[in-house]
Structure 1
Amino acid sequence: MKTILFVAVVLAFACALPSFNAKIEEPIKFDVDLFEESPISFAMKGQVNPLNDQQNKIETFVRLAGEYIPILEAIADKQGSLTWERTWGVNVAGFNVLLDVYFQLIVGWRVQPGSALAGRFDVVYTPFAWGQTWGRVNGTTWPAEGSAIAVLNYLDFTAPISFSLFQTGKVCFNGGYNLEPVTFLNNLFVTLRECRDEILDDLINSQPIFVWTCNWVAPVNATLFDLHLYEGFSGNLISEQCITF
C-alpha cells in the first residue's frame, strides 16, 4: 500500500512539472556571509532548482578587505575538494624528525528525499562546506619515540533548503544555515624503549651475550587541549515561500 501511495505521489509530481517549471523559470538563489562584521570572512553563494539539477551551483569565497576571493565551486550534485599536503623529514645523528602539514576543503551537495505523504512530496537540498587542517611532528631516537599533532576543524557549514510539492498545485520552500563550532585539538604521544638480555641464560645455553631484545614501554597518550575557538550559530537563509500553479 505504501509503495502504491509513493508511486502515485511521484506521478502527480511528474504531471505537475511543466506548470511548476513555468512558474519557477529562475533557480532559487542563496547568499550568506558568515562573519559580516569581520574584515575576514567565509561566504557561500549558489542556486538550487529542484527540477533541473544541472542548474544547481555553489561558489565559496574568502572575503578579505571587501574583496570576495573565489576558493572552490561545486556544480549540480557533484562535490569538489581542495587538498594541500606537504611532508618534510630531517635525520641528524640518529634523531629522525618528520613534519606533516595537511589542508582540506570540501564543498558539495547532499540530496535527501523526505516523506511521501498523501498529496505531498518532500525533498531537501543541503549545500555544505567542510574544512580541516592539521600539522603533525613525529620524532624517533634510539631511547624514545613521540609525536604531537594539532588539528583545526575550521569549517563545518550546512544550508538545508526544503521543498514540498502539493498535489493541489502548490510548492513551498524555505532554508536555513548552520555553522558548527570551530575546534582546535592538540594530542601528544610518547613512548620509551626498554631493552634487556638474560646474560645467565645466554651463558648456560652457549648463546651470544648482549643480544638485546627491545620493546616500547610506558606509553603516554594525552590530549593537551580541546578548545572551541568560536561557537557555532544558525540563521535563516530563505524565508518560507509558496507558489501556486
Structure 2
Amino acid sequence: MDLRSVDLRALNSLTKYPSIPTYHLLDPRNGGLQEEAVAFSGAVLATEKVDGTNARIIQVPGGGWVLGSREELLHARGDLIANPSQGIAAALKPVAERLPPVAGEIRVFYVELYGGKIGASAKQYTSDPATVGWRLFDVLVLRDYAEQLTWPAERIAAWREGGGQTFLPEDALTAQTAFQLTPRLFTMDASELPTGIEKMDAFLRDRLPHTLVPLDDTAGRAAEGIVFRSPDRGVIAKARFQDYARTLKRRAKR
C-alpha cells in the first residue's frame, strides 16, 4: 500500500479506538454513576486500566506504518518530520520499525503510553519526566480496508462506534510477542461481579490496591481502574476509581 495515495482522513477514522462504556452507566446530567451496570455472561477477564495516553501503531501491507494519538495521525515511515505530540512518535518509532510486516490486512496495535510528563497521573508511575512506558491493550485487524477507505466520513464513524471493528480475542492478543500487555488481574464468572456501586468501589480497592506497572521506585503507585471484558471481547467496560469516589461523595452530601 502506498500511503501517499491513501485518504489519510479515512485511515485515521477507520483506526480510531472506539469509546469504552463505564461498567456502571454514566448519568449524562451530572457525570455520576447510575445503578445500571453492563451485563456480562460467562467468563470475565479483568485487566489494569493504565492512565496515560492512547497511541496507535498502524501497519499497512508492503511494510509501511503510521503512528497516531487517539485523535490524529502523527508520523509515517519515511517522514522527515514527526509531530512531537506527547512523545508518541519518539517512543514508538523504534517499536514500529521492529514489527514484522503484514500482508493482506491493516493491523493496528493500541498501546497506553504512560509516565514521563503524560497527563496528571504521570507521577503515579514515575517522578522522572524522561521515563515512559507502554503497554498493549488491543489489536485491530482490517481485511476489507480497500473498500472501507472509500467510505464517506459519516459511514466510517457510524461503523466504528457501532462495533464494526474486529479486535483480536484474548488468546490471540496474549500471543503477541512484540509488546508487554496491560496486566492481567484475574478471570471470574460474571455472576461474581458486584452490581452495586458501593460494592464495586470496595471490589476495585481490594483487587487493585496499587498499579502493577510502576516504572521505578519513585512512583506514587495509585491505579486508575480495571477494564472488564469477555474473552472474545464481545463485551467490554471500564471501572475507574475516580468515578466511584465522585459518585459516593455526592451521595454522602445528600
Task: Return the TM-score normalized by structure 2.
Answer: 0.20
Q: Which has the higher contact order (CA 8 A, sep 6+)?
A: 2
Structure having the higher helix fraction is 2
Structure having the higher strand fraction is 1
Pair member with larger Rg: 1
